[in-house]
Structure formats: C-alpha cells, structure tokens
Amino acid sequence: MSEIADKVKKIVVEHLGVEESKVTPEASFIDDLGADSLDTVELVMAFEEAFNVEIPEDAAEKIATVKDAIDYIEKQKAA
C-alpha cells in the first residue's frame, strides 16, 4: 500500500473513530463508516492539511469512499 493510502487510512481511523480493519478501499464514508455530512467535510479538510493540497468543493463532493480519497490525492501529488 502506498504511503498516501496509509496516511489516508490513518486519518479516517482517527477522525471517525472506526476500526482500522473496516477502512477498506471500497468503504464508503457515509454508508460503511458511519460518517455524516459534517464528518465528510472535516475529513476533506484533514486531507487538505495533511497532504498540503486543495480539494475544491466539486471534487470533494465526489469523494465518497476511501479509494476515492486516495486516488484524488495521488493524482494531485503526481501533477
């Protein structure tokens, strides 16, 4: 697993207080990890801070799963 994926996972575990084993790439923040809309905003802000990237609102709306977040950040970091 990439360094970015590891860090994303860690942030999700920390913010949502969920078991690490539940944070699979396919896991949906809202449907599987019990996040509400405020949690997803807080997560996006935590990602922005941790990876020093800006995630605009329209991109943030599309980040529904752990994999979505990893893919988006990896793409930003590669660019």
Partner 1 sequence: MFKLDGKVALVTGASGGIGGAIAATLHAQGAHVVLSGTRENALQEQVKALGGERVDYVVANLSNPAEADALIAKAEEKAGAPVDILVNNAGLTRDMLALRMKDEDWDQVLNVDLSSPFRLCRAALKGMLRRRAGRIVNIASVVGATGNAGQANYSAAKAGMVGMSKSLAQEAGSRGVTVNVVAPGFIVTPMTDVLPDAQKEKLQSQIPLGRLGKPEDIAAAVLYLCSEEAGWVTGSTLHVNGGMAMI
Q: Which of these is catalytic: 36, 58, 68, 71? A: 36
Active site residue 36: yes
Is residue 42 part of the contact set for partner 1 (CB under 8 A)?
yes
Residues 10-39 that bind partner 1 (CB under 8 A): 36, 38
Question: CB–CB of 65/27 below 8 Å?
Answer: yes
Is residue 45 part of the contact set for partner 1 (CB under 8 A)?
yes
CA distance 37 to 1: 28
CA distance 62 to 60: 5
CA distance 26 to 52: 24
Is residue 48 part of the contact set for partner 1 (CB under 8 A)?
no
Q: Mind telling me the catalytic residues?
A: 36
Question: Which chain residues interact with partner 1 by CB under 8 A?
Answer: 36, 38, 42, 45
